[in-house]
Chain A
Amino acid sequence: MTDALRQAGETDVMVVRSDSRLASRIAQMRPDMVLIDLANPSRDTLEELTLASAPIDRPVAMFVDRSDPALTRAAVEAGVSAYAVDGLRPDRIRAVLDAALARFHMFQKMRTELEATRAALEQRKIIDRAKGVLMRARGITEDEAYALMRRAAMEKGRKIADVAAAIVTASELLQ
């Protein structure tokens, strides 16, 4: 992301990792533009900076570039919000934002895939535990335990992972 932004023009890029003291960090750096995740709670802290009265105290002034609603919409769809100094050249904002958007899309796709993998793994674990519970309780094999859960899921119109979770929860309560 940082590299992509540097390529987009003569840009100094600084990354603020910690959310705490965001306002004071930004006040120190006096950036022309701040890019932040739309859903980052610290955005409300940035809002406060837009209220400072003296121009020199006002590093962030507006939500993206108001002259280009399509770009604003694209940014919001992608989950990026940008704050830029009033009067910053529109072509520079555009270049920086285009680069940021491309990277955000890629990053988001990766994040979604990672979450899907993690969820699948989590389900696998629950199903294995439920199989174990059934095998012990009824003295059946692993395959039989799985078949039993699959049948119950079909009859009840539920996912096999849901049935497994119910078995695990119930067995914990019954212990």
Chain B
Amino acid sequence: MMQVVDVGFMPLVDAAPLIVAREMGFAARERLDLRLHRAANWSMLRDLLDLGRVDAAHMLSPMPVARALGLGGGGGGGGPAVETLMVLSMNGQVVGVSPLLAQDMQATGLAFGFGDASATAQALLAARSAGLRIGVPFPFSMHAELLNYWLGPQVTLTTVPPPDMAAAIGDGEIEAFCVGEPWGSKSVEMGVAQLILPGSAIWSQAPEKVLAARSGWADDNPGLAGRLMRAVWRAAEWLAQDQNRHLASELLGAPDCLSVEPEIIDRALTGRLLTQRRGTTIRSDALLEFHDGAANFPWRSQAAWIATRMARRFGLDPTAAAETAQGVWRSDLYRQHLAEIAILPAASSKVEGACPRPQTVGATRSSLILARNRFFDGLVFDPSPEI
């Protein structure tokens, strides 16, 4: 007997685990009729989830945190709390600039390679010392958090929906953007932008999208939630295998999914980016990760990092914010529902940024290899400094 589950998504490459779960039969294997609903904007996706039109949704990792802290529309005072069931993807953001700004950066004489966050920041701020408007997809997004961490408050962030990013930089409304694929590559293809940095160069293990549900939904429907989480986990595992990436691009490119040429989607999935329309391909490791390095585990320290950063920007108490945010990051549900198929880490929180190379850690059975986890400035984030 198939059970229906409704899940919302935004047309982005990192919606892949949901699309693959449906298309490759991982949902059917769990006896789920996975119905995907494409949203046109993040606010709409949040409203669909609030009102129960979807059971779960593809969400920017800071969105459940913002809701828990009472920030933003839709929820704030009265909307239901939203919680993170698992992480869908790590990294995947790209920073792009207009051709004019790229020229001005070159003219500063400062050398900046693709992947060198410190040098790129210097060149960027030198070329636009009077100020710079950068487009991000949503006020509560890893894109906004990364830019804020990387460049500080001297740049102005402005919200531009991802599919409109190319048009916005094309008509000069913004001079730079930080966006998820395929919209960075799409701008390159249209000749309106040059990519200068992957998000992974700012933080090599930034949780980008999560699978979110209304608080209590997973507790009230443990069978359904468990099956959905296992289907998505298996889809993520499938996506991590190199030989599946071209097929994944075909599936994602379909008109009811991203409706973008598979050749452009390939770039993010294979980590081979074209930074300029007439440029050479650059290999960018860990550009976008769906599974390896315990990517799907919702570490409470991730919620704490996001909440601490957000608290500083919006004038809240960072310690209280981190505490609240960790409550909606349900690593307990992940342990409960994925124990049989996933290797689980022994701890649910870790020091972020303290892993200069892949590292083996204690786990429920055998051991687990965590991916490289570094901030560009070498600082570390300890979620529990008092212990």
Contacts and interface: CB of A to CB of B under 8 A. Distances in A.
B73 A21 contact: no
B72 interface: yes
Contacts of A40: 40-41
Given A44-B138, A76-B53, A62 B42 contact: no
B47 A46 contact: no
Given A21-B173, A47-B72, A66-B78, A38 B159 contact: no
Interface string B54-96: 0000000000000000011110111100000000000000000
Nearest to B47: A76
Interface in A96-130: none
Contact of A48 (B51, B79, B159): B159
Nearest to B162: A41
A40 B42 CA distance: 10
A21 B73 CA distance: 20
B47 A45 contact: no
A38 B48 CA distance: 10
| Residue of B43, B71, B79 contacting most chain A CB atoms (<10 Å) | B43
Interface string A58-91: 0001110010000011001000010100000000
Contacts of A83: 73
A92 B254 CA distance: 44
Contact of A81 (B47, B71, B139, B163): B47
A150 interface: no
Contacts of B171: 20
Contacts of B380: none
B250 interface: no
B327 interface: no
A66 B48 CA distance: 15
B164 A19 contact: yes
Interface in B126-168: 137-139, 158-161, 163-164, 167-168
A40 B41 CA distance: 7
Question: How many of chain B's residues touch chain A, expressed as a range?
Answer: 20 to 34
Given A51-B139, A76-B53, A44 B161 contact: yes
B179 to A, nearest CB: 12
B2 interface: no
Given A39-B40, A62-B76, A76-B47, A47 B173 contact: no
A87 to B, nearest CB: 13
B44 interface: yes
A20 B173 contact: yes
Interface string A24-56: 000000000000001111111111101100000
26 contacts: A19-B164, A20-B167, A20-B171, A23-B158, A23-B159, A40-B40, A41-B40, A41-B41, A41-B161, A42-B41, A44-B42, A44-B138, A45-B159, A45-B161, A46-B43, A47-B42, A47-B72, A47-B138, A47-B139, A48-B159, A50-B73, A51-B72, A61-B73, A62-B76, A66-B79, A81-B44
Interface of A: 19-21, 23, 38-48, 50-51, 61-63, 66, 72-73, 76, 81, 83
Interface of B: 39-44, 47-48, 51, 53, 71-74, 76-79, 137-139, 158-161, 163-164, 167-168, 171, 173, 314
Given A44-B159, A61-B73, A66-B78, 12 more contacts: A20-B167, A23-B158, A39-B41, A42-B41, A46-B43, A47-B159, A48-B159, A51-B72, A63-B43, A76-B53, A81-B47, A83-B73
